[in-house]
């Protein structure tokens, strides 16, 4: 892909990631989870910028493993994922770049759904799976 075809720049991704996690850290529901588990915020923000660059621009910088990392967290719930999605939606809705906002919202919904399924299966595979409520 040539840069002219990209839906956004790396700088827009970095800004979005920084703005979103600034809000998530201050959020009554999400803040305690992030603040107790993220010890190096510079590293986390760099990892998440790489993740979104891979998803939105097709770069190959992200080499992490989101599923096992989230599965290992003790207290995730549908409510927390729904809160995460609502905050992501509010943050991306405020962007002037609509193509970026739309793609980021669509991908986040898919990822949240898949992480929530994985989370439930990692806890008790015999229980019926619950869906996230649409934001
Ligand atoms: C309930 C909602 C969520 C919470 C509380 C949460 C929390 C966290 C925390 C604490 C970490 C750091 C883990 C570590 O470094 O050990 C992390 C990593 C990460 N999260 Fe989430 N997360 C949530 C939802 C999502 C969603 C919806 C996405 C994708 C759209 C996502 C993408 C990632 C990625 C890519 C990493 C880095 C994984 C890696 O380093 O391999 N998270 N998350």
Any idea where the domains of the chain sit in the sequence? 10-123
Ligand 1 neighbourhood includes 7 CB (under 6 angstroms) = no
Give per-residue burial for 21-33: e unless 16+ CB within 10 Å, then b: beebeebeebeeb
The span from the CA of 30 to the CA of 120, in Å, is: 19
Contact status, residue 109 vs residue 85, Cβ threshold 8 Å: yes
The alpha carbon of 99 and the centre of ligand 1 are apart by a number of angstroms equal to 23
pTM: 0.96
Rounded to the nearest integer, the mean pLDDT of the chain is 95
pLDDT reported for residue 135: 73
> Would you place residue 2 in the very low, low, confident or very high pLDDT band (cuts 50, 70, 90)?
low
Phi, psi of 39 (to 5 degrees): -100, -25
Q: Please determine, for residue 27, whether its predicted confidence score (pLDDT) is greater than 90.
A: yes
Q: Please determine, for residue 134, whether its predicted confidence score (pLDDT) is greater than 90.
A: no
Q: Please determine, for residue 3, whether its predicted confidence score (pLDDT) is greater than 70.
A: no
Contact status, residue 95 vs residue 43, Cβ threshold 8 Å: no
The span from the CA of 12 to the CA of 49, in Å, is: 10
pLDDT reported for residue 5: 83
Q: Please determine, for residue 32, whether its predicted confidence score (pLDDT) is greater than 90.
A: yes
What is the atom index within ligand 1 of the atom nearest the CA of 51? 35
Residue to substitute in 17, 25, 66, 108 for testing ligand 1 pocket (most ligand atoms within 8 angstroms of CB) = 66
**Could you report the per-residue pLDDT of 67-109, keeping only the tens digit for each?**
999 999 999 999 999 999 999 999 999 999 999 999 999 999 9
Task: Supply 11's token pair.
Answer: 């700088």
Domain covering 10-123 assigned CATH 3.40.50.920 in the classification: no
Torsion, Cα of 106, 22, 48, 53 (10° steps): 60
């Amino acid at each position: 892909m040539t840069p002219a075809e990209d839906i956004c720049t790396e700088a827009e991704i970095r800004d979005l990631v920084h703005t979103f996690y600034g809000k998530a850290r201050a959020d009554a529901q999400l803040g305690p989870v992030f603040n107790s588990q993220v010890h190096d915020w510079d590293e986390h923000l760099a990892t998440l910028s790489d993740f979104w660059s891979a998803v939105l621009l097709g770069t190959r910088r992200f080499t992490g493993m989101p599923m096992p990392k989230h599965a290992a967290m003790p207290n995730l719930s549908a409510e927390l994922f729904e809160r995460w999605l609502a905050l992501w939606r509010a943050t991306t809705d405020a962007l002037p770049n609509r193509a970026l906002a739309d793609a980021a919202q669509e991908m986040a919904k898919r990822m949240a759904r898949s992480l929530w399924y994985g989370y439930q299966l990692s806890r008790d595979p015999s229980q019926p799976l619950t869906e996230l409520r649409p934001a």
